Structure 1
Amino acid sequence: MIRPKRSELSRYLRTETVGGSLLLVSAAIALVWANSAWSGAYVDLRDFQVGPSALHLHLSLGSWAQDGLLAVFFFVAGLELKRELVVGELADRKKALLPIIAAVAGVVTPALIAIAVGWGTPGIDTAWAIPVATDIAFALGVLALTGSRIPASARVFLLSLAVVDDLLAIVIIATVFTASIAFGWLLAAIACAAAYAYAQHRRITTAWLYVPLALLTWYSVHTAGIHATLAGITLGLLTRVRPDPGEDEAPATRLEHRIQPWSAGLCVPIFALFAAGVPLGGDVLGSLLTDRLTLAIMLGLLVGKVVGIFGVSWVAIRLGIATKPRNLGFRDMFALSVLGAIGFTVSLLVAELALEGDEQDKAKAAVLVTSLAASLIGSALLLRRGRAHRARAHETGDDRARSVVNDDNGGATT
């Protein structure tokens, strides 16, 4: 038996799918804890403040998870986006065009629907940004569990779409939720990022330089008044992804190998533990279908993502602007677009930035309910498409070819 070398894409998918499972467990624990007799302990833990006051870093544990741990998550997303742009699927303009178009439409359409539904309601001026993001770990986790018979190109399409989606979400966070900017600290952040890029150009490899530079960049961005996750994705995009002659692997690959398991297995689940603890008593659940703000978020996610991702992709393919992924049918793409409605991590982050008090709890509940609905509907569609692919493979006697296609998700060929 010969086991081929596992690709970077398949390794990324496996790590993110495990992280997706841990994410679900953390969210479930948070919901149960926040609605139990020990809810006070949950709130006390989330709001417990640590850190040096002199450096303006005396933050709650929930804020550290939001500003610090998610910066690691977005650093990994930046590494993957850079790799896809330079040496991956997005490096081919024809292949890159469709997921980029789908990602942009999947951000714009939910925002427009949310604004249209919630127009005139308090908080919609910032809450429109809540349904724009797709959760990479959650969506890939659902795909891994229920889409094993779907062609490997589905995973490439969903991953490429999600990383571009996250980049757009970070741009929105940096622009919409920055009330004022301390320009001195902004210049310091730019200088640190430039030093990081120069060190990459000079092929410096020591962590004794990069770790302090990364921490200084994060601190400068945070102190400048810009959401600190921007530091993560910026440094990820500045990391070199092409290996030099004689170099076993590029810095981006080494960093992904070391950091991504911590990001997917620790950082994101801890953030979910502090962000998903929504009290569901009172009128929180009852108002989901009557409150215009929560309706705007739910329709923005579930309808906006599907219409934006699938509808615009269908039009782009029909007009010849972009090409359909190999072995992927329109029904497969529709199922994937439903997975795009799983907002979760970034949507919960935006809800915390956009709203306060009861409105924030309602918005988070809307994100959780819609993400659950999207995962269940998407799973059902993927299982149905999987049976169709399996039947077609049996009809053509192409089971062996199918196993080779599915090997990109971590299987072995013989």
Structure 2
Amino acid sequence: MSLNNRYSFPEVKLGPDFAKENLKNFKQLIDTALSFVVVSMPGVGVSSFLRYLSTQHFAHFIHIDLYDLPTLTQHEFYKLLLTELGGKSESKTDEQLLSESKEILKTLSQKWGKIVLIFSRFDQLKKEFDWNFLSNIQSLTTVFPGKIVLIFTSTKPLHEIASEALTGGNLNFYSEQVYFQPYSKDDLKKLLKIEPARPTSKGRLEKLVDLSGGHNQLLHILLRSQKEQPLLDNFVKMQLKELVDYLDYHQRKQLQKIALGKQVKEIDEYLSGVGLVKNSQIFTPLLAEYIKINLPVKLPVKEGKLFKLLKIHIGQTVTKEEIFANIWGADDGNATDWALDALIYRLRKHPFIKSHGYTIESQKKVGYTLIQT
């Protein structure tokens, strides 16, 4: 691709009203020649916004997606950098690749008021981060001070994933960060028009957009799902699990409290910054429900199995046959109505059930339904 042409990403079709507040904030930083790290939750769709940014006219953008790296090494990074700048990267050392990249940037600096290098999914290379590598990247801005801006993306602040590499001048340079939050409903619908998605009714689309909480990848997974209850879909559960697993212990505990409706006096900066928590609520009820379902429950074995089965189907009747099959197994001679009645009684009386506002309703001769008040 010629560097004199704008990128022809599909995001160019999004129009001037897409993500206006984000675009305004990014432009302000670029105008002041301030490099920064964009921090977001996984899968929210920051890459789509950065491709959209690359199609703008107020600066000369060079978009470098680390997913294009054949292997996650410093050498392949330097090769990709030079290639995206229009140079030839074959059979060259890291030093040569970096030097030639700087020469091209020097030439471009004489033609453009601002040059912006976007390193999308930068944290994919985190195992390669060291002081010298990050310092070399920073040195790209010294080719023509005040003209070259670097934008990086990460699902965590860089000081958390590369603390040893962020010393000296690196600490100051990589300390500027911008949180990227989930999209508005209107912006999410605009993205949907340029991305392949399963056709659906207007009513269902509105419902799923609400459920997604502005998270682009979650919306696409919900659209593909054939389940009436999203939390029964394995891909939905995998996405929600990712949103919990990458957090640290303190952040997970805060989310658990919020999911249970408990008050948190001081919400973690990261949780509110990336939009996982907004107005003291988790950004999508699906994640709150997923967290509650998967909370560690101190119940005896059979009571625990029964609770989990009922919780997965909360609000729906689970038949006695399903319970027998899941708790005792099909051929267990102990699977009797008397044994089930006793198990239900013990579970109803357990302090955990009472403290979390659960009620187990009996559907005569059919099964049981778990309700949360």
The structure that is helix-richer by fraction is: 1
The structure that is strand-richer by fraction is: 2
> Does 1 or 2 have the higher relative contact order (CA < 8 Å, sep 6+)?
1
Q: TM-score surpassing 0.5?
A: no
Q: Please identify the structure whose Cα radius of gyration is greater.
A: 2
TM-score (norm 1): 0.28
